[in-house]
Amino acid sequence: MPEQRDVIIVGAGPAGSALAYFLAARGLDVLLLDKSAFPRDKTCGDGLSPRAMHVLRAMGLLDPLLAVGWKINNILLFAPNGRPISAPVPPYDGLPNFALVLPRLQLDDLIRAQAVKAGAEFRSQFNVTDLMREGNQFVGVRATTPDGPRELRAPLSVLATGASVGLLERADLLAAPPAFGRAARTYYEGVRGLSDTVEFHFDSVPLPGYGWVFPISPTAANVGAGYFVRAGKPPMRNSPRQVMDDFIASPYVANMLDGAHPAAPPKGYPLRFDFPTARTAFPGLALVGEACGLVNPLTGEGIDYALESAEVAAEVLGDALRCGEASALTAQRYDQALRDRFLRTFVNIGRVRDLYIQGWVLNRFAAAANHNKDLKLLLIHIALGNIDPIRALSPKTLLQVALG
């Protein structure tokens, strides 16, 4: 007979492991699956925003993270014309006034271990290949394992599979091809001039996109670049790897990396940011984090949305499961809860990206922000994802930017 659980979560990244933690803490029988053995690397920029730190603090992970991560107190942005804008990470609405950089090799394993500590069971090297369905209701998953094929059943299955859409395609659950960004990153050791500052560069990459230098230690950094493709626009001619290589070869970054050496092979990765049009839930099945397009379409940050969507899922789906329900109505409630939480922000982020991530506009914004502390604070809050960027579209802000 197939094994039976309350909840099966597929994918032990931040979204899946956080959800496993929250549901297990509610007393549910949670099985967390991943195709990889842990710890495992995951290609990413490795940044943890104050919003991400807020959720991780609620999970009891603040001290363990601070013990191994690189604390970030300052932000440095470069406009397309090379003009720098710098500011400390500001306090906002109870969020930590710092960020953190920590490779996913360590971060994901810490969150996974916390889920297990809360009572979830974790199984590695479980490669989920299909979703099981009876009529309109999803009832579990099929997986290949080192011990052979397995069937696992639960009233609720959750996909926390990131940008991978294979399971969704096989189950015919994609309403349309998802919108993706592209990025590539590597690690450098022996880097000079690193501090408690993360750098965002709009001066050496094609727009809409940026390059970054995120320290992970006094002498090592995650270095990469990424870009988005606007709807209706042709794809970028250069590959993510080429964009990253060009960024690394730019004078400022080349000088910073002079004498440093790559500590890992370059890796590219997709970024799925189509939440406004993505399907998020079905009877007996829910999606969290990047699996439903929850990646910031301006910055590419997704860990904070992954963790926050896990909180939403735990509240809505956890309550339903305790009442013995995982119906179409539950799916509708979950979808509505996600849209109430994130949709307006995503729409406004898209508008801000399309308006501001153009060379001459960003240059005007940088010029204005360097002598207007309110504009600078707005820019930093948007870069960190602290706020809905609707204020950037206000007549007052537009006038301030236009006047430079």
Residue 292's pLDDT band, with cuts at 50, 70 and 90, is very high
Closest CA to 184 of 107, 267, 261, 260: 267
Residue-range definition of the domain harbouring residue 318: 3-46+103-178+273-351
Does one domain contain both 146 and 283?
yes
Residue 44's pLDDT band, with cuts at 50, 70 and 90, is very high
- Residue 229, pLDDT score: 75
What is the average pLDDT score of the chain?
95
DSSP 3-state percent helix, strand, coil across the chain (nearest 5):
40, 25, 35
207 domain-assigned: yes
**CA–CA distance, 17 with 182 (Å, rounded to integer):** 25
Strands 74-78 and 84-88 turn out to be: antiparallel
- Cross-strand pairs, 286: 158, 281
Residue 325's pLDDT band, with cuts at 50, 70 and 90, is confident
- Residue 324, pLDDT score: 73
Read off the CATH number of the domain in which 225 is found.
Answer: 3.30.9.100
Does one domain contain both 203 and 346?
no
Does one domain contain both 114 and 241?
no
Reply yes or no on whether the pLDDT at 168 is more than 60.
yes
Task: Dump pLDDT digits (tens) for 109-141.
Answer: 999 999 999 999 999 999 999 999 999 999 999
301 or 238, greater pLDDT? 301
**H or E element: which one contains 78?**
strand 74-78
Does one domain contain both 17 and 136?
yes
Does one domain contain both 320 and 399?
no
Does one domain contain both 113 and 209?
no
Q: How many CB atoms lie within 10 A of CB 175?
A: 10
- Residue 2, pLDDT score: 76
322 domain-assigned: yes
- Residue 235, pLDDT score: 62
Residue 336's pLDDT band, with cuts at 50, 70 and 90, is very high
**CA–CA distance, 124 with 11 (Å, rounded to integer):** 10
Contacts of residue 109, Cβ cutoff 8 Å, sequence gap at least 6: 38, 39, 40
Does one domain contain both 108 and 194?
no
**H or E element: which one contains 121?**
strand 121-123
- Residue 230, pLDDT score: 61
Reply yes or no on whether the pLDDT at 236 is more than 70.
no
Read off the CATH number of the domain in which 324 is found.
Answer: 3.50.50.60
Across 375-387, average pLDDT: 95
Packed helices 373-384 and 359-369: angle between N→C axes, nearest 10 degrees:
120
Does one domain contain both 229 and 364?
no
How many domains does the chain divide into?
A: 3
Task: Cite the DSSP H helix spans in 257-358.
Answer: 303-322, 328-356
Residues of the chain above pLDDT 70, percent: 98
Tally of residues, the chain: 404
Closest CA to 32 of 45, 43, 42, 23: 23
Q: Which of 172-176, 192-196, 240-244 has the lowest mean pLDDT?
A: 172-176
Does one domain contain both 203 and 234?
yes
Last residue within a domain, chosen from 249, 271, 293: 271
Place of tokens 């339903």: 320
- Residue 160, pLDDT score: 99
Question: First and final CA of the chain: distance in angstroms?
Answer: 69
Q: Give the CA diameter of the chain.
A: 70
Does one domain contain both 336 and 235?
no
Structure tokens at 42: 């995951």
Last residue within a domain, chosen from 250, 271, 292: 271
Q: Are 175 and 279 in contact (CB under 8 A)?
A: yes
Q: Which of 53-62, 232-241, 245-254, 342-351 has the lowest mean pLDDT?
A: 232-241
Across 325-345, average pLDDT: 93
154 domain-assigned: yes
Place of tokens 């209701």: 137
- Residue 233, pLDDT score: 60
Across 186-202, average pLDDT: 97
**CA–CA distance, 264 with 262 (Å, rounded to integer):** 6
Closest CA to 374 of 355, 345, 399, 346: 399
Does one domain contain both 185 and 159?
no
Say whether 164 sits in a helix, a strand or coil: coil
